[in-house]
Amino acid sequence: MGREFGIGIRRAIEQTQMTHRKIAEMLDWDESKLSDLVRGKGGVTEAEVLQLLAFCRVPPAEVRHLIALYRETRQTGYLKIPEDGVPDLVRSLVEQERLANVITVWSMNLVPGRLQTADYMQAVVDGSVRSKSVNYGEVIAAKIKRRELFHWSREFTFYIHEQALLLPVGSTDVMKDQLLHLLAMAQRSYITLRIVPVAIGAHAGLGGSFMHLSYEKFEPVVYLEGENSSLFLEDKASLATYTEVLKLLDRQALGAEESKELINSILI
């Protein structure tokens, strides 16, 4: 059903300080049903979700939130549109990223967000449509905090189109620092940078940027980000399509060492 829903259920259970087996016994459930629910795999009705939440004494506001997630994630994908119209770029995405063990990103027009320097982020904000209701300083701070998820226990691959490296974002110094930062991050054993060169012309990623997240205990998910919404795709057809895109990008992109050489050539 969905990782965010599963996380919410897990937290509800944890605050009871009871084992899964004990809760299953008291609800007269098979323990496997409770395990599948926590893992976001489904197999329960809405009434059973409400039964569990009532047993765990979850506050009404959180019950409404989790039931809404339950209903949304029974679909092939789910759309996140916050009430203020601003995409929740941090909370929903970070919840997904924390559980992922393999994260693959395709970025066509900009340096991927997780690899951006603070000055580059600010330049992107300065050149974009702005909302008066958004504190962009907080948005940038939250994006920088996402770097904490970089860890050797996860595998990161970034496919980046060369045009994203050539597009002037901010001053010459901002771009130089950004490219140097990319080279520094590429030295980490668990981070791979692959550049898709302009010279190849049309490429597999023309449909737009996206992120593919793989998990040990959940099915994969694809994340798409728009101006005022973010979309998580979980259906098999969409996942198969984006998997094929990544396979083609893998063939079209330069190797890791060649990619570093290209970045260095831009710096000269």
223, 108: one domain: yes
Mean of pLDDT values over 149-178: 94
Please give the Cα distance from 146 to 27 (Å, whole number).
Answer: 38
pLDDT at residue 6 in the model: 76
* Same domain, residue pair 156 and 215: yes
For residues 65 and 167, state if they share a domain. no
Residue 101 is encoded by which pair of tokens? 């063990």
Greatest Cα-to-Cα distance within the chain, rounded to the nearest angstrom:
69
- Show which of 12, 41, 74 is a domain's final residue: 74
207 shares a domain with 125: yes
First to last CA, the chain: 49
> For the sheet containing 230-233, what is the strand order?
77-80, 230-233, 221-225, 210-215, 100-107, 155-161, 191-196
Nearest to 41 by CA among 82, 84, 3: 3
d(CA 193, CA 187): 10
Closest CA relative to residue 212, chosen from 93, 39, 118? 93
Whole-model pTM: value is 0.70
pLDDT tens-digit readout, 8-40: 888 888 888 888 888 888 888 888 888 777 766
Average pLDDT for 72-94: 55
45, 130: one domain: no
What are residue 103's DSSP bridge partners?
156, 213
Residue 1 has pLDDT above 50, yes or no: no
Range of the domain at 141: 78-267
pLDDT of residue 91: 61
* Structure-token match 């459930």, residue found: 29
pLDDT tens digit string along 91-122? 667 777 877 899 999 999 999 988 999 999 99
Where residue 54 sits, what CATH number does that domain have? Answer: 1.10.260
* Domain final residue pick, 74, 92, 125: 74
Does 161 score more than 90 pLDDT?
yes
Per-residue pLDDT at 179 exceeds 90: yes
Is residue 86's pLDDT more than 80? Answer: no
